[in-house]
Structure 1
Amino acid sequence: MSGYFNFGLHTAVSPWERRTFLEYSRRIFGRDPRWVPFDAHKIHHAIDPALNPHLARLNPSLFYFDGLRRQDQPLAGPGLTMFETPLVTAILLQDPRRQDRTAYLAHLHCANSTKAFLAFQDNLIEELAKRGIRRLIGPTGLSPHLGSGALASHWQQWPPQHTPYNPPYLPEILDRRMQPFAQSVLFHFVVPRERPSPPQTPATLQPLNPAQLNDELLPLLAAACQNPAGFAPPDPLEAEFWQRWLGPQLHGWVAQVDGTPVGLVLLLPDLADRLRRFRGGRGLWRLGLTAVKNRHVQAGRVLLGGVLPQWRNQGIGQQLWQQTIRTAQHAGWQRLTIGPVWQEETAVSWLQKQNASPQQTYQLYERTF
């Protein structure tokens, strides 16, 4: 009989345990060639509450779950032993900005074993009860506005950086204990060769300074992060995490009317292929990743964009979009991926009118207790 037994739930607190947590995550999804490993340097810092104030206030618990593989034949022979198999890694987060006893299941990596995931959740219930949690939402990113949901379609596509990825079995496993309640979609766009002509609007465009995201651009960031899941809008602490997590390649454009910011778009080169090739920059692979990181990139990411409600329907969104196309042409990007965008947003129909194609969908789940 195949399967697992003798399950163990562990909490990563020390630096060594956090390294084990990341190694388990890598081993669970690492054999899938489409999986995009996290930047090794960034993820080590991001999961350490002492180095990430945004994470620290979320009362994080880093769990890694393993078990022994049941063998069809008994193990025999000198020196032959059994070792634990990584089965699940996840970070339990509780945002103090929410007062509805909701927690997030972030950084979820799960092996292809329904029994293992059900056992993990059974073990997790005790921790949820201690915290008085009545609702669990997942999968999410360390910021729920970056990388939330389980990939539910188009697994054959190579996923871009800063989007969720999982093998096809994960939604089937999540369906066993959790209920789907919100969905987002990733758009693909082929950058045209012809340069768009700028529309006539009351706004002027300025290059985005990422350091302003946690200051004067914070209302724009919050407006662009509206969501059906009740995620709190980014505040200065979370915006600072965005800047560290997304790195120095983050750029974009800000639309202003009489000096007041009214819209923005956030852009990044898509380094997914390089992170795959150089294994996230672990160990000596860091030298190769650093050497090619800033070389010509063929794809770009539009993380998010938006215009304040009182300034919509005046062509400012179109102005930002056309500037995005010109930026992509200047950078040599041949294609863009946009979002993911929540299905309920008007941006879905707007992007389709711009000839962007909806492809990968991401399903967010919940469970109430």
Structure 2
Amino acid sequence: MNGEVVIDPVEGKRGRALFVDTGRRFASREPHAVPQLRGEQLELVDPAKNPFFGHAAHQLFVARRGDAVVGRISAHIDRLALELPRQQGFGPGAGMFGYFDAADEAVAHALLRAAEDWLRGQGMDRAIGPISMSIWEEPGLLVSGQDHAPMIMMGHHPEIYQHWIESAGYARAKTLLTYDLDVTVGFPPLIRRIVQSGQRNERISLRPVDLSRWDEEVETILAILNDAWSNNWGFIPFTNAEIAYAGKKLKPIIHPQINLIAEVDGKPVAFMLTLPDINDVLRKVNGRLWPLGWLRLLRWMRKPSGAGMRVPLMGVRRELHNSRLASQLAFMMISQIREVAIAEYQTKRAEIGWILDDNQGMKAIADAIGSTVNREYAIYERSLAS
């Protein structure tokens, strides 16, 4: 395409709407992308509603060529990320970009330059992304697995974006993996023996989350998460406001029997969250609640029969890391959740992840139960030195 590319910063309600609708238009062109709820997407970029902005500065941009909007990008700085050790991926000087969509390579490079200039003006010396916008929302660019639809809370991007980002001088900093599991296939004999051994251990107990005291359960889960993941690449702890926000958002799709807390000697030491894949129903209602999409969505949330399941988060306290007990607890939770998902929801497929490509412990667990990598997401980095 010919014509000058102009990058405009956008803000306010109308600017955020243009930014979100631009992304929705690009997503609609992808055969396996799943239309998300527009209201939810608007909330994620609204500083008045998303507590992420309580510790972040940001700027949204759209690209224009003549009268046409031909791309978008965000530039943002997470102040909590700046406080982390640099070897964990962020640290001082680490700015980010996200929500990247472009019509062609010229637009892509213009958008990346605009994000870099903004970050440089804020004193940053590196650009890392795409991270849209919190590390806990949709991190990474899909670089493998475009041939099937993403599960809940995972991004989907065309293959060409990888070339455009890399041709702008970005190098891969980290790869995130998701694993596909056919839950109708039983676990290998060794894993079954490990699970049975744990079931005979009177010190170990697994319990479903208690929705009647959901706020307390969320605090327990995220306390374990913040401890378990604290040394991981890219880890940024949840704030109290984010804990409350996440709890409110997740509660409608939490089914207690497939969300477990593991206790040893009565102390919570591990958890596993499992979410039914809401993309199943969003695809059917085309991401729209009106006129009847809301009714179909409510029915599905009560009983997501046939839905795929995603395990987005699990954690075991650091004191148990690299121990036999840690992997045993993981296998026990996976086994129990698998049995319930099959019996109660007729689930046939599940997804585990994302998992960092250097997290050997979690990769070994995923391999041991017969799951295979089905998608890869790349996070890129580039120096902003002049």
TM-score range, shorter chain: 0.7 to 0.9
Q: Please tell me whether the aligned partners of residues 153 and 360 of structure 1 are also in contact (alpha carbons under 8 angstroms).
A: yes
Residues 193 and 363 from structure 1, CA distance in 2 versus in 1: closer, same or farther, beyond 3 angstroms? closer
RMSD: 2.4
Q: Which one of 60, 71, 84 corresponds to residue 68 of structure 2?
A: 84
Find the counterpart in structure 1 of residue 310 from structure 2: 301
Aligned pairs for 1:162-201 (under 5 A) are 162-177=153-168, 178-192=170-184, 198-200=196-198, 201=201
Deviation at 1:9, TM superposition (A): 1.7
Residues 190-237 of structure 1 show CA distances to partners (whole Å, capped at 9, x for unaligned) of 112769764424321111255336523323112454575433233323
Find the counterpart in structure 2 of residue 40 from structure 1: 38
Q: Which one of 234, 251, 254 corresponds to residue 230 of structure 1?
A: 234
Structure 2 Cα separation of the partners of residues 125 and 360 of structure 1: 28
Q: Which moved more, 1:306-315 or 1:353-362?
A: 306-315
Q: Please tell me whether the aligned partners of residues 19 and 72 of structure 2 are also in contact (alpha carbons under 8 angstroms).
A: no
Structure 2 Cα separation of the partners of residues 65 and 227 of structure 1: 38
Residues 91 and 131 from structure 1, CA distance in 2 versus in 1: closer, same or farther, beyond 3 angstroms? closer
Find the counterpart in structure 1 of residue 363 from structure 2: 348
Q: 1:319 corresponds to which letter in structure 2?
A: M
Find the counterpart in structure 2 of residue 72 from structure 1: none
Structure 2 Cα separation of the partners of residues 139 and 342 of structure 1: 16
State the secondary structure of the residue aligned to 1:355.
coil
Runs of 4+ deviating beyond 4 Å: 193-198
Residues 236-266 of structure 1 show CA distances to partners (whole Å, capped at 9, x for unaligned) of 2333333344452135100012221100001
Q: Which one of 240, 247, 272 corresponds to residue 243 of structure 1?
A: 247
Residues 266-285 of structure 1 show CA distances to partners (whole Å, capped at 9, x for unaligned) of 11000213222323226546
Report the count of equivalent residues.
352
Structure 2 Cα separation of the partners of residues 364 and 97 of structure 1: 15
Query: Does 2:324 align with 1:313?
Result: yes
Residues 293-332 of structure 1 show CA distances to partners (whole Å, capped at 9, x for unaligned) of 3352421111121222323412212211112212312222
Q: 2:175 corresponds to which letter in structure 1?
A: Q
Q: Please tell me whether the aligned partners of residues 75 and 118 of structure 2 are also in contact (alpha carbons under 8 angstroms).
A: no
Q: Please tell me whether the aligned partners of residues 61 and 93 of structure 1 are also in contact (alpha carbons under 8 angstroms).
A: no
Query: Does 2:283 align with 1:276?
Result: yes
Q: Which one of 257, 260, 276 corresponds to residue 264 of structure 2?
A: 257
Aligned pairs for 1:70-219 (under 5 A) are 83-99=67-83, 100-106=92-98, 108-177=99-168, 178-192=170-184, 198-200=196-198, 201=201, 202-209=203-210, 211-212=215-216, 215-219=219-223
Query: Does 2:65 align with 1:52?
Result: no
Deviation at 1:66, TM superposition (A): 2.3
Find the counterpart in structure 2 of residue 337 from structure 1: 351
Residues 322 and 267 from structure 1, CA distance in 2 versus in 1: closer, same or farther, beyond 3 angstroms? same
Deviation at 1:174, TM superposition (A): 1.1
Deviation at 1:112, TM superposition (A): 3.9
Residues 119-165 of structure 1 show CA distances to partners (whole Å, capped at 9, x for unaligned) of 11222233212211111211113330342111111211222121121
TM-score after normalising by structure 2: 0.83
Residues 32 and 9 from structure 1, CA distance in 2 versus in 1: closer, same or farther, beyond 3 angstroms? same
TM-score after normalising by structure 1: 0.87
Structure 1 Cα separation of the partners of residues 217 and 240 of structure 2: 8
- Of Structure 1 and Structure 2, the greater helix share is in 2
Find the counterpart in structure 1 of residue 86 from structure 2: none
Unaligned segments of structure 1, at least 5 residues? 69-82
Unaligned segments of structure 2, at least 5 residues? 84-91
Deviation at 1:40, TM superposition (A): 2.4
